[in-house]
Amino acid sequence: MLIDFFYALRAAKLPVSVKELLTLLEALQKDVVGPRSEHCAIDDFYYLSRATLIKDERHYDKFDQAFGAYFKGIEHITDFTKEIPAEWLKAILQKELSAEELAKIQKMGWDELMETLKKRLEEQKERHEGGSKWIGTGGTSPYGNGGNNPQGVRIGGKGGKRSAVKVWEKRTYKDYDDSLELGIRNIKMALRRLRRFAREGVEEELNLDGTIRATAENAGYLDIRMQPERHNNVKVLLLMDVGGTMDDHIKRVEELFSAVKGEFKHLEFYYFHNCVYDYMWKNNKRRFAEKISTWDVIRKYKKDYKLIFVGDATMSPYEIMQKGGSVEYNNDEPGAEWLQRLTHAYPKFAWINPEPQGVWQYRQSIAVIQKLMSNRMFPMTLKGLEDAMRLLSK
């Protein structure tokens, strides 16, 4: 079985070797997990195999998918002696509302939305499904998940209508995989419009023309001339939206990320969620523990960096314009302030949007971001990338 499992991981393009497989087999032989283990479960084997086979945490997500696909149908051993808490936030149904019902839903202002949520949390004592008032699922209340309301606070569960202005849950994102093989080679060709080469560093390569000229001038005696290797000296600061609605665009963003890492030697990248605020991060698994101040980023990199945002700009406008508007915490300053600081610090900037350009006019937040970006927003298409690179190269 483990041989097939090993080949399944290789088929998923995970960098696992026979040596690592032997380490896993040795651990099983020594009963690290197994029939004689007290709490043996598929979970134990999962953690053991991940620890022995995967050496880089950026591959954890890909490993999880391959592991789940291979062992699909194997049940996890669960301790049923423990009391199972009520699943308040499990979406049981997606309620279909008539046009008349939808017309009755009224938008609330920001202060009223937050104040009413506080009161509901104090009053409500039990789970609620459907309806227009209590915190629950599948209803028209602005609080809960899986329901219909143009402006709401999502509390737990998976989002549905993408109109929440707050998300009351801790979320986990994954880093974009920069080792992905490009499906569209033309992405690299579009990015090359931004490249600028210069001779720098020590002498590393043969100067063929110089060698021929010097040899001829030296009466035919070989006179080898060297020159510094040509490097792309363009500097790029890449800020990428991750999680939430960006999950729809993971593959395309990974392709772009892979191309950018291959084309630009001087590349710095950071992640943000929906809008940039007072901090960003480099690693999504440690984003709460390793926050990087946006001010520090601005101070660290000089104005000669080309600033590229990658994001769908799809969110509640509160997240951009409102103090405390972030879906994850109460930010002291609006996202718009930070976007303006970044574009002021880096005069050459552009925003790449993976959302189809045809839907931009229907998203209020996209219009807000476009204005903040001085209309320097481009679709993630071949022409869009070429136009963005052409603008940045001026």
Instruction: Round to whole Å and give the CA distance between 271 and 292.
Output: 10
On whether residue 36 sits in a domain, the answer given is yes
CATH (domain of 242)? 3.40.50
Is residue 284 within 8 Å of residue 174, measured between CB atoms? yes
Q: What pLDDT does 342 receive?
A: 97
**Average pLDDT of every residue of the chain:** 76
Residues 190, 334 within the same domain: yes
Q: Is there a domain that residue 289 lies in?
A: yes
Question: Which of 115, 169, 123, 122 is CA-nearest to residue 142?
Answer: 115
322 plus 291 within the same structural domain: yes
Separation of alpha carbons 311 and 257, rounded Å:
12
User: Is 257 found in the same domain as 224?
Assistant: no
Domain that holds residue 217: 202-230
Q: Which two tokens stand for residue 128?
A: 């609620």
Domain assignment of residue 78, yes or no? no
- What pLDDT, in 10s, does the model give residues 131-161? 544 445 455 555 455 555 545 555 555 555 5
Q: Are residues 142 and 255 in the same domain?
A: no
Residues 119 and 143 in one domain: yes
* pLDDT band per the 50, 70, 90 thresholds, residue 111: low
Q: Taking residues 47-57, what's their average pLDDT?
A: 86
Band of the pLDDT at 10, cuts 50, 70, 90?
confident
Q: Is the pLDDT of residue 26 over 90?
A: no
Q: Are 61 and 10 in a shared domain?
A: yes
Task: Point out which residues pair with 351 in neighbouring strands.
Answer: 309, 377
* CA dist., res. 353 & res. 379, Å (int): 5
Kindly give the residue spans of alpha helices, DSSP state H, lying in 84-176: 99-103, 110-123
Residues with Cβ within 8 Å of residue 254, at least 6 apart in sequence? 176, 177, 178, 180
Q: Which two tokens stand for residue 97?
A: 């509302």
Domain assignment present for 86 = no
In a domain, 144, yes or no: yes
Element (H, E) at 229: strand 226-232
Stretch 328-339: mean pLDDT? 93
Residue 199 has a pLDDT of 47
Residue 187, helix vs strand vs coil = helix
Predicted confidence band at 94 (pLDDT cuts at 50, 70, 90)?
A: very low
Max mean pLDDT range (115-119, 194-198, 296-300, 387-391): 296-300
Q: Angle at the Cα of 286 (from 340 to 299), degrees rounded to 5?
A: 35
Q: Are residues 258 and 278 in the same domain?
A: yes
Whole-angstrom distance, CA of residue 195 vs CA of residue 201: 18
Q: If DSSP codes are grouped into helix, strand and coil, which group holds residue 378?
A: strand
Residue showing tokens 């283990």: 37
User: Of 25, 49, 70, which residue constitutes the final position of a domain?
Assistant: 70
Report pTM. Answer: 0.56
Contact between residue 240 and residue 272 where contact means Cβ atoms under 8 Å apart: yes
**209 and 278 co-located in one domain:** no
Q: Which of the pair, 171 or 241, is modelled with greater confidence?
A: 241
CA 137/CA 30 separation, integer angstroms: 48
CB atoms within 10 A of CB 188: 17
- Highest mean pLDDT out of 8-17, 146-155, 171-180: 8-17
Q: Is the pLDDT of residue 118 over 90?
A: no
Distance between CA atoms of 127 and 298, rounded to whole angstroms? 46
pLDDT at 17 over 60: yes
Q: How confident is the model at residue 177 (pLDDT cuts 50, 70, 90)?
A: low
Looking at the 3D structure of the chain, how many domains does it have? 4
Label residue 76 by pLDDT band (50, 70, 90).
very low
Looking at the domain assignment, is residue 139 inside a domain?
Answer: yes
DSSP letter (8 states) at residue 246: G
